[in-house]
Amino acid sequence: MDHQPKFFENLSGAGKAIGVLTSGGDAQGMNAAVRAVVRMGIYVNAKVYFIYEGYQGMVDGGDNIVEVSWESVSSILQVGGTVIGSARCKPFRTREGRLQAAFNLVQRGITNLCVIGGDGSLTGANLFREEWSGLLEELAQKGKIDAEAVKKYAYLNIVGMVGSIDNDFCGTDMTIGTDSALHRIIEVVDAIMTTAQSHQRTFVLEVMGRHCGYLALVSALACGADWVFIPEYPPEEGWEDSMCVKLSENRARKKRLNIIIVAEGAIDCHNKPITSEKVKDLVVQRLGFDTRVTILGHVQRGGTPSAFDRILASRMGVEAVLALLEATPDTPACVVSLSGNQAVRLPLMECVQMTQEVQKAMDEGRFLEAVRLRGRSFENNLNTYKLLSHKKPDSELPKTNFNVAVLNVGAPAAGMNAAVRAAVRVGMTEGHKIFAVIDGFEGFARGKIKEISWGDVGGWTGQGGSILGTKRTLPAKYLEKIADQMRTNNINALMVIGGFEAYLGLLELSAAREKYDEFCVPMVMVPATVSNNVPGSDFSIGADTALNTITDTCDRIKQSASGTKRRVFIIETMGGYCGYLANMGALAAGADAAYIFEEQFDIRELQANVEHLTEKMKTSIQRGLVLRNENCNENYTTDFIYQLYSEEGKGVFDCRKNVLGHMQQGGAPSPFDRNFGTKISAKAMQWISKKLKETYRKGKVFANTDDSVCLLGMRRRNLVFQPVAELKSETDFIHRIPKEQWWLKLRPLMKILAKYKTSYDVSDSGQLEHVAMLPKEAETGAI
């Protein structure tokens, strides 16, 4: 960025009072948002008040509106639901109720509100803001407040954060709670799959989403469901026949189970409800399959928030406080939201209007319009699902006579199998023959290569590790053998799914093009590594699953000390030299410090951290958490830090250490990794098809330009193809990390939430955008 960084030190909250409330249905991650608002508010010297029980508490006043301190939000990060309560409130819908609420706020000098809830709660907040000056005048006329107060508290500023598991709010890629709800659904689906497999059963799963099919659609994509019913995209006339044909075809292909997912608001094209019972009865009557219904219900709202939701809510909470500090009487009420991987501010009413437009389109039967209004992420999910779930008959598929090889390279990462499945199925739909290479470049050289079909990759999305097998070996020492194999099998394009070794491998293969014509074919890399250290991409497949493992483990470790004396845990994470897991794990687990290679530290800083923790432990806080990346410093090892903290903390706290190790690479992939892997891989295969057409000359494929060897990465708001040759200048090859990493900007966030004074660059925030301006083409850092 060329512009001068802008720091928020100039923004002071002195003299301001912020009220925070959660309203409407609860969602996991609301507490993380509340915690971030409170701590950021206190950090900028504002007073912060809890408003208990949503708008009901605002109307009732009294003990429902309480000033809070730093410690008030300690240990709530990992708790689901909302600790300040939420209630549906009829009185607030009346002017009388809002008058009482205004009186209660003015009494405490609160003129800044941070509302965490769904579109109903946010619309209510906006109405309250518009009526504010009228309400104060009425209170003055009734003699409840004086003229001075009317002048002093003349304006009410409102910032919203969307907390809703349905992800039904337009303008934001992901609402707080959606990712956690997907975790609950996927846990259930994974468990059901094993029992369904045993008995050759069909399961009909009903998930939440009265007006929005996001949860149903994404969970169908993440588990490879046979059929999905959502309100925005009703099935065509005669769907009963098509569905039954599809289910029986799958059984004929030796598939032992069928999964059908139904959103609770699913409808047919005549706006008549499609219920899970109706679907079950249909399958039993027409096919005689043993069929069961499972309604997930409120399980989806429960449980601990996922790492994604904690980080999202923490980022949004801090952004909300900044928005309140910068608000003027002319600023419209805004929502802080996520677009791609970036925090944005959007006018609240524009978002609400667009959300209502979707419902209107559905009511009027304009379903294609409804899908478009839901936004690019939703549309993309739907198109990808349609592409991957229904195999066209061979007679309808194009025949390109191209052979594409798919391989995994590097260490295993959860989500690799979902990426392979998507590549195979999209490749076949495009008319190519797909070859699977076993055991990376080493297996390639040994001829471990076989054609793979649509059915071979069924059920792969939920499998952890790498089914194809993966090795870290680079191709340089096998170039001749790999070229032979490519010639023998007539391979016209390569898709490599892997980490830093995959990137190095593609660089080596493109350098060998001068010597071997066989490598003059389109090659694409899809980043998959828990370390998230691949240049050219903000995210890698597998990093989210590893982050959730770290977060869950930290929660358990913290809990292990409850009831004992004060204790600090030193936890070592993976990542090579890349501090992504340590830094983001620290943000998601509420750690006090995270030591990483990218931010050099010395003994003075270690000393300051120990003193800071010692001071904290003298208050009501009982547990401390310190994360350390495995290679952050060769001398300040995990043992050294553990011994230092043990010595310096004597008499105040004791210490324990944990090395998390390879558990970070294992486990079933998270919903994010399944979907990110599926969508990015499908896009990569479509790029291969395009390149094959462009480079096919005189009966053969010949591609020798830089732009025919690309890495597909997520950059801020877009998925972009970047020639690997151009990424060389962005790479630190010695430490195997990108020279610039976006998440380093979030480091101050972690420090602020852990009570350190620091500077936070807010150059990226502060611009109010318009909903329609969000780039339509962009792909999302959300799923």
- Residues classed as catalytic: 166
Q: Where are the beta strands (DSSP E) in 395-535?
A: 403-409, 433-437, 449-451, 493-498, 523-527
The alpha carbon of 520 is separated from its chain's Cα centroid by a whole number of angstroms, namely 36
Beta-carbon contacts of residue 85 (< 8 Å; ≥ 6 apart)? 22, 52, 53, 54, 57
The alpha carbon of 693 is separated from its chain's Cα centroid by a whole number of angstroms, namely 34
If we measure between CA atoms, which residue out of 323, 350, 330 comes closest to residue 37?
Answer: 323
Give one word for 283, left, alpha or beta, with left for phi > 0 and alpha for psi -120 to 50.
alpha
Beta-carbon contacts of residue 89 (< 8 Å; ≥ 6 apart)? 23, 54, 55, 56, 59, 97
H/E stretch holding 295 reads: strand 291-295
Crossing angle between the packed helical segments 671-695 and 416-429, to the nearest 10 degrees: 40
At residue 366, the 3 state secondary structure works out as: coil
Burial of 448 (0-12, 13-18, 19+ CB in 10 A): middle
Residues 57/64, Cβ–Cβ less than 8 Å: yes
At residue 211, the 3 state secondary structure works out as: coil
Q: Where are the beta strands (DSSP E) in 550-662?
A: 567-573, 593-595, 623-629, 654-659
If we measure between CA atoms, which residue out of 255, 267, 165 comes closest to residue 218?
Answer: 165
Which residues share a beta bridge with 709?
A: 523
At residue 266, the 3 state secondary structure works out as: coil
Beta-carbon contacts of residue 450 (< 8 Å; ≥ 6 apart)? 435, 436, 438
Residue 5 to residues 41, 159, 761, Cα–Cα distance (Å): 22, 24, 6
d(CA 235, CA 386): 12
Backbone CA torsion sign across 51, 57, 59, 60: negative
Tokens of 701: 């494929």
Backbone angles phi, psi at 447, to 5 degrees: 80, 20
| DSSP code, position 757 | -
Kindly report the CA angle at 429 between 428 and 433, in degrees rounded to 5? 20
d(CA 497, CA 465): 12
Alpha helices in 89-171 (DSSP H): 95-107, 119-141, 147-152
One-letter amino acid of 721: F
Backbone angles phi, psi at 200, to 5 degrees: 50, 60
One-letter amino acid of 555: D
H/E stretch holding 442 reads: helix 440-445
H/E stretch holding 293 reads: strand 291-295
Tokens of 324: 């309140």
Which residues share a beta bridge with 436?
A: 406, 450
Crossing angle between the packed helical segments 214-223 and 376-389, to the nearest 10 degrees: 40
Kindly report the CA angle at 707 between 705 and 708, in degrees rounded to 5? 70
d(CA 108, CA 106): 5
Backbone angles phi, psi at 284, to 5 degrees: -65, -45
Kindly report the CA angle at 471 between 469 and 477, in degrees rounded to 5? 135
Residues 301/134, Cβ–Cβ less than 8 Å: no
Residues 173/339, Cβ–Cβ less than 8 Å: yes
